[in-house]
Amino acid sequence: MSSYEVRRRRLLQTFGLTAAAGTAAMMNADPVLGASLGYDERIGVRPADYRAPTGLAKPSAAKNAALAWIDGNAGEITALSDQIWEFAELSLREWKSSLAVAALLRKYGFSIQWGPAGFPAAFVATSGSQGPVLGFNAEYDALPGLSQKSGVGGHDPLVYNYDAYGPTYGAGHGDAHNTLGAGATAAAIAVSQAIRAQGLQATVKVFGTTGEEQLVGKPFMVKAGVYDGLDAFLDWHPFGSTLAFWNTTSALASATFTFLGAAGHGATPLGNKSGLDGALLMATMSEYLREKNVAASGRFHYAVINGGGAPNVTPDMCSIWFFMREGSPARVQVLYDKILECAKAAAQASQTRLVHKFHSGTWNLLGNKVGAELMNDNMQSIGPPVFSDADHALAKSVQRSLGKPEVGMATSLVPLTPPPPVFGGGISIDTADVSWHAPTAVALAATFPAGLPNHNWGVTAAAATNIGHQGMLSAARYLAATAIDLITQPDLLGAMQEEFRQRTEGVRWTSMIPEGTQPPMYEPPADFLAQTGQKWPPKGITWPVPEVVATERLGSVGPDLPPVT
């Protein structure tokens, strides 16, 4: 029996099926995963004998013009990326970063609509009004605690916040979203310039997205209809190697669980009710789920947000923030319900009051084989990013510091392969919700040393160096070339759309966000509102947000007893 068939049997067993049941039964068990994994099996695509097609990407004057624009404006593109890296703004607060991206788009003729779905730091930029509508994804948020000096191969935070009891690091682009936003912007501008120069008809839209690292922006924007009307969507992400793919990702739900008690002195603790106890009990109970209640494709992880300021004060409030991931929204919901029960039990055991807040949820990514094959063919034509000896030396230094093999930067393209027949779980991206509304093509480009995980200081170290620049410029070329082919070869765009129609047949997308859920929000600075022409609060947003306050009574251990003598 082939290794492919062994993996296929394991996949079906995950759904409680036999190998004889086949794709139809799997799609009935979970139509969403069936659309992403089962579709490829149904049309006869097998990793063992797949060969990526060639000849899809065609040379054209428009493609030459788009690529020439990127090459001729590389300095402006990398300057934007480095500027966003310096801002290092956290999710939902990317005031300077979004302004910088929008300013470059406006310079090259895009109109800007600020505040889609009520998010002040989000925008939709548009060039053109005729022909097929192609969307590009721009993100620009940093991550907490991943500050790092640029080009330094050992862990050396650029921002170190001294505290005698608990020092912290500043924010940093440990997912290289500075390159993501600038690279997608460059591709969109290049395509718009080629459209004008060659007299083509197409509309280019750039969706500036806030809060991607918290999986917030796009799910609410998709639900509000911001992405409606797209003919295709193009995306890329920084990575340790360079490839196209049509794999799926994990669906995800994000929620916080706040435990409210009664504060008191740590030296006289009787009667105090600790919110921290509730959070820790929940974390401990949830860990017991892993062996028997979490499938191989499932993930959950958490962070304690406010665990108290000093050991001699029993904290009367503590929040624990969970991400829950699985292969489809339905499977996420099953895991979510189990974790919620842990929260309820933890509140009861700690004698605290539970306040549960759902923040966001996103589907798993719906890949597109035609889009991936076209992207891959353009990548083969353009070639991988080219790195200097100094780039490899920096990469090896970072790898050495992190205990990884000192192989330097990835210098070749990873061959295109179909999704594995067994989904083993992994990352989530909020582009996923968009992918269920428009056929989506995705590329990854090497912008940090091979073998490193995303969300690491080593990514931050490379993201504003020539390493990040070369990966970003290559990604911009891949996206632009693919977009030009979709414009000049309407049959390819039609094939992407037909595959999308077939994959989504029988699957109805519904937002994972319950009706009436208010997204996480931060009030922008007054000058940002003035520059973008927005008012606060946005329509439909309650501000200020109602306070969460502990109003619990102190506990009792019963009547006072006479002292023991």
Q: What does each C-alpha distance from 370 to 40, 82, 126, 329, 350 come to in angstroms?
A: 12, 34, 25, 25, 54
Predicted pLDDT of residue 2: 52
β-pairing, 243-245 with 317-326?
Answer: unpaired
At 375, which amino acid appears?
Answer: M
Domains along the chain with CATH numbers? 3-42 (no CATH), 61-249+364-504 (3.40.630.10), 251-362 (3.30.70.360)
Pairwise CA distance, residues 530 & 254, whole Å: 32
| Parts of the chain with a pLDDT under 70 | 1-27
SS3 339: helix
SS3 369: helix
Contacts of 60 (CB under 8 A, 6+ apart): 484, 488
Predicted pLDDT of residue 36: 87
Give ∠ CA 122-185-198 in degrees, rounded to 5.
130
pTM of the model: 0.95
Pairwise CA distance, residues 214 & 230, whole Å: 24
Token pair in block for residue 273: 């009710």
**What single string gives the DSSP state of each residue in 293-317?**
HS-TT-EEEEEES---S-TTEE-SE
Are the CB atoms for 88 and 42 separated by under 8 Å? no
Predicted pLDDT of residue 392: 98
- With b for 16 or more beta-carbon neighbours within 10 A and e for fewer, the 175-200 pattern comes to bbbbbbbbbbbbbbbbbbbbbeebeb
Token pair in block for residue 552: 């619990």
Predicted pLDDT of residue 18: 43
The three-state DSSP-derived secondary structure of 174-206 is: CCCHHHHHHHHHHHHHHHHHHHHHHCCCCEEEE
Pairwise CA distance, residues 394 & 470, whole Å: 14
Reported as a single tens digit per residue, the pLDDT across 364-384 is 999 999 999 999 999 999 999
Token pair in block for residue 177: 């979203």
Token pair in block for residue 155: 């862990």
Output the CA torsion 430→436→437→439 (10° steps).
Answer: 100
Predicted pLDDT of residue 3: 53
**What single string gives the DSSP state of each residue in 462-478?**
HHTSHHHHHHHHHHHHH
Percent of the chain whose predicted confidence (pLDDT) is above 70: 95
